Structure 1
Amino acid sequence: MKCLSVLQLLLAAAAPIEAAFSWQNVNIGGGGGFIPGISFHPTAKGVAYARTDIGGLYRLNLDDSWTAITDVLATDEKWGSWGIDAMALDPQDPNKVFAAIGMYTNSWDPNNGAIIRSSDRGNTWSTTTLPFKVGGNMPGRGMGERLAVDPHNSSIIYFGARSGRGLFRSVDGGATFSRVASFTASGTFINDPSDTSGYSSDIHGLAFVTFDSTSTALNGATSRIFVGTADNITASLYVSNDAGSTWSPIANQPSKYFPHKCKLSPSESALYLTYSDGTGPYDGTDGAVYRYHIPTSTFTDITPFPADKYYGFGGLGLDTLRPGTLVVATLNSWWPDAQLFRSTDSGATWSKIWEWGNYPDQTLYYSQNTDNAPWVNAGYISQDSKKLGWMIEALEIDPTDSDHWLYATGLTLFGGRDLTKWDLPTGRNVTISVMANGIEEMAVLGLASAPGGSELLAAVGDDSGFTFRKEGDLGTSPKTPWMTPIFTSSTDVDFAGNKPDSVVRIGSSDGQVALSTDGGVSWNAHYGAGTSKSGGAVAYSADADTIIWSSSNAGVFRSQHQGTFTALASLPSGAVIASDKRNNTIFYAGSGASFYSSTDTGSTFTTVAGALGEATSVRDIVAHPKVAGEVWVSTNIGLFRSRDFGVTFSRVGSSSLSNTQHIALGVGTGSSWNVYALGQGAAGAKLYASGDDGLTWVDIQGGQGFGALSACRLAGSANVQGLVYVGTNGRGVMYAKGTVGSGPGTTLVTSSTARPTSTSSSVPTTSAAATTTTTTSKTASTTSSTTTSKPAVTTSTSTSQAPATTTATTPLAGRWAQCGGIGFQGPTACAAPWTCTYQNDWYSQCL
C-alpha cells in the first residue's frame, strides 16, 4: 500500500473529485421547440447548422442527424448562452462558424450577450463579450440572419443588434466589434410599450445583414451590403455601396410590412425578401414577397396568390443551382394549415404544396413521415388540421443539392431529399419528414423514476410529457406524448411509492390533472380539478389515494379518492411539496425558512420549528423511494436529512456543498443509494453526487453544460445502478451512468427540534439525532425561471426571514475527515460509527 504524505492528504481533501460520467440525451426526438434559423454553407456539401431559441446551436451530420455544439458554453452563470439570436458561416472557409448568443435583452438574463466563433465547426469556441444584451428568445427572433461574414474578406463580420444599439462590425475575424457610426437606423418597432417586464417593450432593432457577393471589392471588402430593420413606417431596407462607409434607404421600397428574410440570388443579381405585418414568431395576418433587381434598383411584388392571403410570410429558400427557383412559407396560417409556395420563374408564377379540393377536403401534394419521432404524428399532426406546422421562419434549400431542403416550425424540423418532385407536371408528391434527429430542445419541468415502475417520467413544456418504461427505451423516441388528456405543458409528475404504476401529472392550464395506473402509458382526466388552478407542483401519497397540488396561481390544494380539490390553509401559496414514498399518511412541505409535515394524509400541515437551522429558502424536498421516514431537503445553505419523518434533521456536507437547488436519490452500489445535488461545491456550481449519504461529494457534471441549475430538474434512477437524469431548460433530458465513489470526508452538522404532537400512531416519536453546531449563512433569495419556446414569464421569489436559532455544541468530523495531528484545530471526535485513527504525528483520520 502506498503511503501518502500529509501534503498529499490535504490536497486530496481540498481538490474536487470528478467521476467518469459521460452525458447524452434521452431520445425524445423531434426537436420539440422553435428553430428560428437554418444555414447551409454555400459551397461545402453537408455543412449546415440550426439555431434554436433556448437550446443552443446544432451541427448537421452526414446521416441527417444533428449534434449539439454549444453545451460547453451553457454554465450556471452563463445559462443564456443557449439563446442563439443569429449565426453566420464563412463563405471562404467551411470550418468557420459564428453565432450571437444571449437569451433576453431585459433583466431576466443577467449577462451581456456575446459573439462566439469557431474554426473547427463548433468543436471549440472563442468568445467576444458584447457591451449589451442579445435576445435569442425575444420577439422577432426568427428574422435574420443578423450576423454575416464578408464573402470577400473573412476578417470582416457584421452584426445587427437589438434594443436600438445599431450596426456593429469586426475587422479582425470576430475578436473585437465596434459600432458602425455611419449607420443610424435602429429599427424602432416595439411590440408593447406598456410592458413593464421589458420583454415586449424592447426595441426590435436590426433584422438582417446581407452581402452582395457579386459586387466589386473595395479595399479588400465587399462593396455592396444590405441591412434590414424592424421599421414599417419610414424605411426598413438600407444599402451601402462603399463597403459600409455610407448608407441610404433604398428608394421605392415596401413600407407597410416588416422584412423577415433577405436572400441574394447571385446569378440573377437579385434579392428576394419576405414580409409580414408582425415581427414574429407568433403573429402575422398580412404580408408580401418581393424581388429586388439590383442593377435597375427595381422592386417587383411577387406575392403568391395575393387575393387569398390572410397571413404574412417568413421562411424563404433559394435554389442556387437553379436560378429563379425558390420556396416561401406562410409565417403563421393557423387554420387550416401552413402553406408552402414554389416558383421556378423568379416568382412570376407559383404552385402550392396543397390546395382545396371539394371543400373542406384538401388535395395534398406531399406525403409525411414521422418515423424519427412517432409522437409528433400521434400527439399533434393526427390531432390537428395543421400538418405542415406554424412559426415557419427557417426554410433553406441545400446550395449543393436541389432535392435537399429543410424547414423548421414551432414544434419540429421538417425536410426531405426529393424537393424537385414538386416540379413534376403530374403525380408530384414531395416527401416531408421529421428531420430533427438529435435536436433536443424541450424545457423539462418535472422528472421522476419509480422503483419497479416506469424508469423515467418527463413532464415538459409545450409538448405535454413522455414515459420511458425501462432503461432500454431511453434511446428510442416515444410513440406518443402524454395524451387523453394532452396538456400543452405538464409542469410536474409524481408516482405513488407503494403503487409505482400509479402516476399523477398536472398541466399549465386551469384544471389540468391526469392520472395513470399503468406507469404513464395511458391517462385519464381527474374531474375534481376545477377550473381555477394551474401549474406548480404535485405530490402523490404512497398508496395513491391522496394528491397535494401546490398550484402556481391559487395556493395549495388537496384531493382524496379523486374527489374535489379543496384549499389547504395550513400551507402558504407556492409551497414546495413531497410525499413519503412508503407511509401513506405522511406529506412534507417547505416555504421560505419553514419546513412543514403532515401526519393525517395531508389534511393539515404543522411547522417543524427550527428544522433547517439558518436556512431561509427551501428549494426542493425528496423522500427516499424505498425507506419510510427518510427525507432530504435542499436549501440556500445546503442539504438537510431526516430519518424520522422530519422529527429531526441533520445538516449534510456543510463544508463541501452549499446553495443547493434540486436534489435526487438513485440506486447506488449494492444496497446503497446515491444522493445527487445541483449546487455550489469544490468545482463550482455543478451537479454533484455522493455514495456515502452526503459525507463526500464528487463532480459528475464535468464539462457538460446544463444551463441554469435553478431551472433544471433532477432524478436518480430508482431501478438502475448509478443512472441519473438532468432535465434542462432547453436541451431536453440528459442522462449518464457511472459509479459514485467516496473521497475525503466532510463535517456532518446536525440540528434537532421537537416535533409537534401528532395523532398519527404510524410516525415514530423518538429520535437518535444528536444536537451539534450549525453553520451560519447570509439571507439568500432564490429565482425560479421557466423558459419555453413561447414568451416566458419569469417568477422570482425572494425570502428574507430571521434565521432559526439552534443550540451550539461540539462538532464531529465525518468519515475520512482529519480528526487530529500536530497543529490541527478542528474536531477531534468522529461522528458514529467512525473512530479517530492515528496515521502519524501530523495526521489522524476518521475511519
Structure 2
Amino acid sequence: MKSISVIQLLLAAAAAPVRAAASWKNVNIGGGGGFVPGFVFHPTEKGVAYARTDIGGLYRLNADDSWTAITDSITTDDKWNNWGIDAVALDPQDPDKVYAATGMYTNSWDPNNGTLIRSSDRGATWSSTELPFKVGGNMPGRGMGERLAVDPKNSKIIYFGARSGHGLYKSTDGGVTFSKVSSFTAVGDYVVDPSDTTGLNNDKQGIAFVTFDSTSATTNGATSRIFVGSATNSTSSVWVSNDAGATWSAVAGQPGTYFPHKCKLQPTEKALYLTYSDGTGPYDGTAGAVYRYDITNGTWKDITPVSGSDLAYGFGGLGVDMKNPGTIMVASLNLWWPDAQIYRSTDSGATWSPIWEWDGYPNMNQYYGLTTPNAPWIETGFLSQDTKHLGWMIESLEINPLDSDHWLYATGLTVYGGHDLTKWDTVHNVTIQSLAVGIEEMAVLGLASAPGGSELLAAVGDDCGFTFKASSDLGTSPKTPWMTPQWASSADVDYAGNKPANVVRIGSGSGAQQVAVSSDGGASWHAHNGTDTTKSSGTVAYSADADTIVWSSGTSGVVRSQNQGTFTAVASLPSGAVIASDKRNNTVFYAGSTTGTFYRSTDTGATFTAVSDALGSAEAVRDIIAHPTVAGELYVSTDAGIFRSTDFGVSFTKLSGLTNTQSISLGVGSASGSWNLYAFGTGANGNKLYASADAGATWTDVQGAQGFGSIAVASSKVLGSGNVAGQVYVGTNGRGVLYAQVSVSGTVPDATSSSSAPVKTSSTAAAAPSSSAAVKTSSTSYAAPPTTATLTLSSVKTTSTVGAELAQHWYQCGGVGWTGPTACVSPYKCEKQNDYYSQCV
C-alpha cells in the first residue's frame, strides 16, 4: 500500500445527512480465507480465546466454535491499519481484559503510527494508546510471538516488543502509557533483504516474543523472571531478566543458527519450549529446530523431531498442554510438498509421533480425518486439487489450557482444529475440521450484482472468487470457488446487462490465460482463449449483449476481444483507464483516466473519443457505473465528486453533497422502479459510505459505526443489489464482503430538473436519436446514443504511455515463472518481495 496524506474532512454546505440504522453483517464465504498468525487462550477462564489476523482484525471465540469480529468499530478510513494485528495479550487475573498491538506496515504504505488497544469487556469497546512508531501486522515475521504480554502477578505491567529497532516497551498503568525499557539493548536487527528500497523487507524485525515465568518469585510486586526473544539468529537471540526487568542478559548456552519463533512456558515442568527456523516467516524456512530449556538447571536440549535429510523445513506453531506436563506439539512452518507436518510428544520431546508418514512412497498413512462442512469450497477447490491438506504457513498452534482435547491451528487459508486431540496418544487418529466460521479475512477485488441474474459475484484475492445465486444464499458458505479455470486471485468481474447470465472475470496470475467466461451466472466457467499468458489483472467491462470484452489490464494496457476472438490493443485509451459498459446499449463503452479525462465509444469499444472538459475541474476518474436498466445513464466518480449523464456521456451534471468520491454503485431502491446511488466519499459526516435516492440531491450516511477499513488506500468496493431493494454490499481489504439493508428516501430528478447546472462538454448539441434507432430488449426500450460526430474534441486533456507494456502500481512485475512486464509505470519501481513475486511499489 502507498502512503497518502490524511484526507481532510470537508463540511458540506447542506445540513448533516440522516444516519440510517443499518445493521451490517458478513456474507458467509466462510473458511477464513487468510492468514491467522496467532491464537491466545485465557489460562483460567473457560471459553475465552482470540485469533489475530494480519489484515482482518481481531476475533473472539464463541462457545459453538465460531468467531466474532471485534475490531470493526475502530477500523475507520483514517485508522484502517487497526485491522493489522501484530500481537495479542490477555490478563491472567482478569478474563475480561484483552490487549492488542495494531498497525499494518512499518514502511510508508501505512501513514499511521501503531496503536496499543485495550478492552475491559472482551472487545465490546476499546480504548487506545498511540505509539511513537509503526507496528507491522502484515510485515515479515508476523507469525512470531506473542510480542505483547501482561505480567501474571501484576495486571498493571505490560511489555511490548517493537519492530524497526525500537526495542522493548513497558507500561505500568495497565496499557495507558508506555515507555522504553532502556536497560534492554537487543533490537532484533535481522532484515530479509537489505537492498529492498520499499521498507518492507529491509526493516529490522525487532522483538519476537515476551514470555513471563509465572513460577518465579515476585520482585517489587512484579514477576521477577521474564524472557524476551529477538529476531536474531545468534546465541544472543533470547534474553532473560531475573529482577523484574531492571537488568537483562542473553540466556547462557542457547542455540544459535536459527531465529526463535514461539516460546511457551510449561509451569509444572518449569521449562520453556521454543520453535526455531532459518527464516522469520511466514513464507520462508528450509531448516529449523525445537528446543527445551530447563529453567531450574539452566540447560538446553535439542528435541527437534527430525534430522538429516528429513529436516527440510523450519518450525513455527507450538502447542503446550497445560493439563498434561510433557505433552507438546510442533508444526512445520513451510513444508510445501507433499503436505505440512505436525508432531506430538508426551515425554517432553524425547520421542515424537507425526500426523502422517510414508507407507512406501507414494502411499501415505494419514493419522487424521479432515472435513470442511462449515466451508465446503475448501474441500472442492483446494483439498481435492492439491496434496497439501493440512496446510502451509503454520505459525499458530494452540492446545486449550483447560481442555486437552481442544486444539486449533491456522494455515494460510483457514483455521483447523478439533475436540478429540488426546486420541492421538491412543488410537493415533484425530478428527480435524475447518473451524473458521465468522472469520472473513478475504481481500475483495471486484463485485457485481446482475439484475435478474446472480445476486452477488465476488472476485477475491488468494481464493479466486465466489458466486451467490440469490440473496437467500448469502448466509451459506459456497460449495465451490470459481474453478476451471481456478486462479489464486481474481481481479474483477462483470456481467452483460441484456444477458445477465453471461459473466466475465479476470485473474491476476501468470503462466496461464487470465480471462474466464460463464453463461450460467457464474455457476460454471471456461477459459477465454482469446488472450495469451502475459496479460493479467486490472478491470473488465462486458458489453450489454455479451459479445465484447474490454479489459483494462494491469500488464498490457487496454485490450479488447469480440466474439471470443483475440484480444487486441485499444490504442485510443491510456494504460490503467477506468472502464465500464453501457448495460443496455451493446455498442457503448465508457472510460476515464487518472488525469480526469472522460472517454466514450459507440463502436463496441474499438475506438474511444475523449469528451472535452466533460468533468469540469476533476483531475482523476476513480469509478464509472452505468445504470443497470436505463441506456445512456451513467455516473462518474472523481476527486471533485460525482458527475451524472443521461445522454451517453455527451454532457454531465455535477451532483452536490459529496466531494473526493471513490467507489460508487447503483442498487434497487425501495420504491417501484427506483434506484439508490451509493458512494464512498467526503460528506457532512466525514469520509464514509453514503446513499442517495434522488441522484445526489440529498445523502444519507448508511455506514454508521461500522468500519470498512480504507476507502481509498485499500479501495473499498461498494455495490448496490440489482435484485433486492435497499440491499448494499461493501467489499473490504481483509474483512470479506459486508452487507446491510438500508432505507433511503427521495425521487430521482430527470435530466433537466437538477438543481446543479450541467457541465458543458460540446458546443454542438447532441442530435436526438430517431425512432428507428430505438432498440428493444425484453421489456426495456432504449435509444441509440449520439454518434461521436456530435462531439467537439478541442482542449482534450492528454495522458502519456498509451497501451504501454508496463505493470501498474501494486501489480506483479517479476518472480519465478513470471512472463508479464518487468517494468512499472512511472514513478513506481519493480521491487522483489520474494523469489516468486516482485511488485510495483
Question: What TM-score does the superposition give when structure 1 sets the normalisation length?
Answer: 0.88
Q: Is the 8 A contact 2:417 2:433 kept in 1?
A: yes
Q: Following the alignment from structure 2 to structure 1, what is the Cα–Cα distance between the partners of residues 420 and 221?
A: 40
Report the alpha carbon displacement of residue 758 of structure 1 after superposing the two structures with TM: 10
Q: Classify 1:439/1:239 alpha carbon distance in 2 versus 1 (closer, same or farther; 3 Å).
A: same
Report the alpha carbon displacement of residue 233 of structure 1 after superposing the two structures with TM: 3.3
Q: Describe the SS at the equivalent of 1:421.
A: helix
Q: Classify 1:396/1:434 alpha carbon distance in 2 versus 1 (closer, same or farther; 3 Å).
A: same
Report the alpha carbon displacement of residue 795 of structure 1 after superposing the two structures with TM: 9.6
Aligned with residue 758 of structure 2, among 750, 763, 773: 750
- Equivalent residue, structure 1, for 2:834: none
Q: Is the 8 A contact 1:691 1:741 kept in 2?
A: yes
Within a 5 Å distance, the mapping from 1:631-642 to structure 2 comes to: 631-642=634-645
Q: Following the alignment from structure 1 to structure 2, what is the Cα–Cα distance between the partners of residues 763 and 646?
A: 12
Q: Is the 8 A contact 1:76 1:708 kept in 2?
A: yes
Report the alpha carbon displacement of residue 756 of structure 1 after superposing the two structures with TM: 8.8
Q: Following the alignment from structure 1 to structure 2, what is the Cα–Cα distance between the partners of residues 462 and 111?
A: 26
Q: Following the alignment from structure 2 to structure 1, what is the Cα–Cα distance between the partners of residues 824 and 319?
A: 39
Aligned with residue 735 of structure 1, among 739, 750, 762: 739
- Equivalent residue, structure 2, for 1:285: 286
Q: Following the alignment from structure 1 to structure 2, what is the Cα–Cα distance between the partners of residues 365 and 176?
A: 49
Q: Describe the SS at the equivalent of 2:77.
A: coil
Residue 717 in structure 1 maps to residue 739 in structure 2: no
Q: Classify 1:77/1:246 alpha carbon distance in 2 versus 1 (closer, same or farther; 3 Å).
A: same
Within a 5 Å distance, the mapping from 1:290-689 to structure 2 comes to: 290-307=291-308, 308-424=310-426, 427-510=427-510, 511-591=513-593, 592-653=595-656, 656-669=657-670, 670-689=672-691
Residue deviations 1:48-83 (CA, integer Å, cap 9, x gap): 000000000000001110000000111111111100
Residue deviations 1:495-551 (CA, integer Å, cap 9, x gap): 000100100000001331000000000000011111221100000000001001101
- Equivalent residue, structure 2, for 1:141: 142
Q: Describe the SS at the equivalent of 1:296.
A: coil
Q: Following the alignment from structure 1 to structure 2, what is the Cα–Cα distance between the partners of residues 794 and 683?
A: 41
- Equivalent residue, structure 1, for 2:838: none
Letter in 2 for 1:736: A
Please list every run of 5 or more consecutive structure 1 residues that lacks an aligned counterpart in the other structure: 1-9, 770-782, 800-847
Q: Describe the SS at the equivalent of 2:653.
A: strand
Residue 99 in structure 1 maps to residue 100 in structure 2: yes
Residue deviations 1:4-50 (CA, integer Å, cap 9, x gap): xxxxxx99952231012110000000000000000000010000000
- Equivalent residue, structure 2, for 1:47: 48
Letter in 2 for 1:34: F
Two-structure CA RMSD over aligned residues (Å): 2.4
Report the alpha carbon displacement of residue 747 of structure 1 after superposing the two structures with TM: 5.1
Q: Describe the SS at the equivalent of 1:377.
A: helix
Please list every run of 5 or more consecutive structure 2 residues that lacks an aligned counterpart in the other structure: 1-10, 774-782, 791-807, 816-821, 829-841
Q: Describe the SS at the equivalent of 2:166.
A: coil
- Equivalent residue, structure 2, for 1:156: 157
Q: Describe the SS at the equivalent of 1:14.
A: coil
Q: Describe the SS at the equivalent of 2:78.
A: coil
Q: Describe the SS at the equivalent of 1:95.
A: strand
Q: Classify 1:165/1:796 alpha carbon distance in 2 versus 1 (closer, same or farther; 3 Å).
A: farther
Letter in 1 for 2:25: Q
Residue 267 in structure 1 maps to residue 268 in structure 2: yes
Letter in 2 for 1:506: I
Q: Is the 8 A contact 1:182 1:245 kept in 2?
A: yes
- Equivalent residue, structure 2, for 1:780: none
Structure 1 segments of 4+ aligned residues over 4 angstroms from their partners: 10-13, 742-747, 755-762, 783-787, 793-799
Within a 5 Å distance, the mapping from 1:27-106 to structure 2 comes to: 27-106=28-107
Q: Following the alignment from structure 2 to structure 1, what is the Cα–Cα distance between the partners of residues 718 and 562?
A: 27
- Equivalent residue, structure 2, for 1:830: none
Q: Following the alignment from structure 1 to structure 2, what is the Cα–Cα distance between the partners of residues 11 and 667?
A: 26
Residue deviations 1:698-750 (CA, integer Å, cap 9, x gap): 00000000000121111100000000000000000000012112499995242
Q: Following the alignment from structure 1 to structure 2, what is the Cα–Cα distance between the partners of residues 280 and 754?
A: 58
Letter in 2 for 1:697: W
Residue deviations 1:534-579 (CA, integer Å, cap 9, x gap): 1000000000010011011221100111111111110000000000
- Equivalent residue, structure 2, for 1:806: none
Residue deviations 1:430-480 (CA, integer Å, cap 9, x gap): 001000000000000000000100000000000000000000000000000
Q: Classify 1:747/1:99 alpha carbon distance in 2 versus 1 (closer, same or farther; 3 Å).
A: farther
Q: Describe the SS at the equivalent of 1:72.
A: helix
Q: Classify 1:766/1:556 alpha carbon distance in 2 versus 1 (closer, same or farther; 3 Å).
A: closer
- Equivalent residue, structure 2, for 1:123: 124
Letter in 2 for 1:445: L
Residue identity over aligned pairs, in percent, reads 68
Q: Is the 8 A contact 1:608 1:756 kept in 2?
A: no
Q: Following the alignment from structure 2 to structure 1, what is the Cα–Cα distance between the partners of residues 449 and 87?
A: 37
Residue deviations 1:660-709 (CA, integer Å, cap 9, x gap): 00000000022110000001011101000001111100000000000001
Q: Following the alignment from structure 2 to structure 1, what is the Cα–Cα distance between the partners of residues 456 and 264?
A: 44
Q: Describe the SS at the equivalent of 2:81.
A: helix
Residue deviations 1:90-136 (CA, integer Å, cap 9, x gap): 00000000000000000000000010000000000000000000000
- Equivalent residue, structure 2, for 1:243: 244
Question: What TM-score does the superposition give when structure 2 sets the normalisation length?
Answer: 0.89
Q: Following the alignment from structure 2 to structure 1, what is the Cα–Cα distance between the partners of residues 47 and 357?
A: 33
Q: Is the 8 A contact 1:289 1:303 kept in 2?
A: yes
Q: Describe the SS at the equivalent of 2:33.
A: coil
Q: Is the 8 A contact 2:557 2:569 kept in 1?
A: yes
Q: Is the 8 A contact 2:59 2:69 kept in 1?
A: yes
Letter in 2 for 1:67: T
Q: Is the 8 A contact 1:695 1:748 kept in 2?
A: no
Report the alpha carbon displacement of residue 429 of structure 1 after superposing the two structures with TM: 1.8
Letter in 2 for 1:292: Y
Q: Following the alignment from structure 1 to structure 2, what is the Cα–Cα distance between the partners of residues 567 and 765?
A: 25
Letter in 2 for 1:428: H
Report the alpha carbon displacement of residue 785 of structure 1 after superposing the two structures with TM: 7.0
Letter in 1 for 2:784: V
- Equivalent residue, structure 1, for 2:227: 226
Q: Is the 8 A contact 2:692 2:699 kept in 1?
A: yes
- Equivalent residue, structure 2, for 1:191: 192
Letter in 2 for 1:374: P
Report the alpha carbon displacement of residue 605 of structure 1 after superposing the two structures with TM: 0.4
Residue deviations 1:249-270 (CA, integer Å, cap 9, x gap): 0111111000000000000010
Residue 693 in structure 1 maps to residue 695 in structure 2: yes
Q: Classify 1:208/1:786 alpha carbon distance in 2 versus 1 (closer, same or farther; 3 Å).
A: farther
